[in-house]
Structure 1
């Protein structure tokens, strides 16, 4: 290949783009099928991949520790011993991985992120090593080994993510965004998604029954209505009486407060459940509230009143 006689090489945030380069024989020197695609700076690519692999190893250890935290009690002491050995070994390996990531001093934020992770890991590593020492475990009771394992899970969970975090930096800084899209980082994300498997689909929401008056709560003023309540809290006036309706999941609470003090509260959680309210004192007549249906999005109430007009 001859020398470049013309063309332009542009570096943007550590990513190289080549446009219109020509060789000395006048032909285009095409380094990529897509001329707008990034050419990773090798140090940027290696740094990003090293960080992605190190962070993935730490995340895997923390996830595994969280799953095992409640399994030691009642299990043979071999379960706690095996965890202690594997956790200590994994933490040592993770420390070496972060330490091996090149320090890019020309971009201070890269070193701050890497060294912050390393400090957090090295903060707990000596205690984890001591608690997991095979000689120290010899002769301990099952309860003592369990206590050590539970302590290590707590130490691992306490390893804090730096601030600003990797995710924040990749969203706010073009250099980090590009590093996070290096081939090694993409493979790490693909492996994590494959390991976690497909997410469970959300449970379907059962439909609400129809409401004759729709969502018009004002229809209840004359003493008879069938309305859909969609807000978490709503006041419904029935004649001269006010009902305070609150929805919480699949439960509906209806409260009527008396002017003289005191209140009546009714919880409705099943279709067909009813509550009856009166004005109190010498007033005659009642208001009956029936739950026709409820889901996490709303509730349908049927209200009938024998109260005189308010």
Structure 2
């Protein structure tokens, strides 16, 4: 139904243009040349056509910049769910600054009321969350935080970014309203930002006997699926901090007397062992991983090692 309506609208515009009438596109006038034999009129038409081509080019440049900024916001939202807390807290402020600069770059390209409202809707929201994002991601403050505290900050930053919504009227409203916006939002830059190169297919995760329930590990034996960037797993009297970055899993254990053991598990079958003399010994095996999660098999037994140890393979 929409294609038919747009087609009819274009045919009506073509008829008006053939008659030498003006068609308004988003506040930008489009005028067809007339041929009445008047040299002065043709000169005026040439001048007006040049101005209109310039205005339409500026509209396309504005739409391209907006499309790229919106695509970057989408990526930043997705990063909050798939990146480890450390990585996200380091990358989010720079990404948000780049989005703000991209919005600033298109601010002066048009003065059409609809484009100004749409741009301002995004720009105000980005400016509103930037100070808090910068405060939450301050490097000096992050150095002394525990993994769980960093995860909490990453969740807060992710929530702030997720709160940036498309203004109303939105992009689809503008496209439906005016054929000029439809052309602009289907420019090469907009299409490229919406249709990136497809990602490689992710290898499926192996099944996990206990699903995503890390509470099942409390008795010392479990097989769990970890999808969050950071999670705390209690295994008998030990606490493991598990973080993910891409397909790599890092497992940490801090000892009450001080010190920390950390094991990086980056390949299927890799293992790490944690424990102390006289206490529980916990072994963590990476059963499989992809960009969306990892499956860990955890077992425990009575310790026999005389000193803290960790091993990986």
TM range (shorter): 0.3 to 0.5
Higher relative contact order (CA 8 A, sep 6+): 2
Pick the structure with greater CA Rg. Answer: 1
Task: Give the TM-score taking structure 2 as reference length.
Answer: 0.47
Task: Give the TM-score taking structure 1 as reference length.
Answer: 0.47
Q: Which structure has greater helix proportion?
A: 2
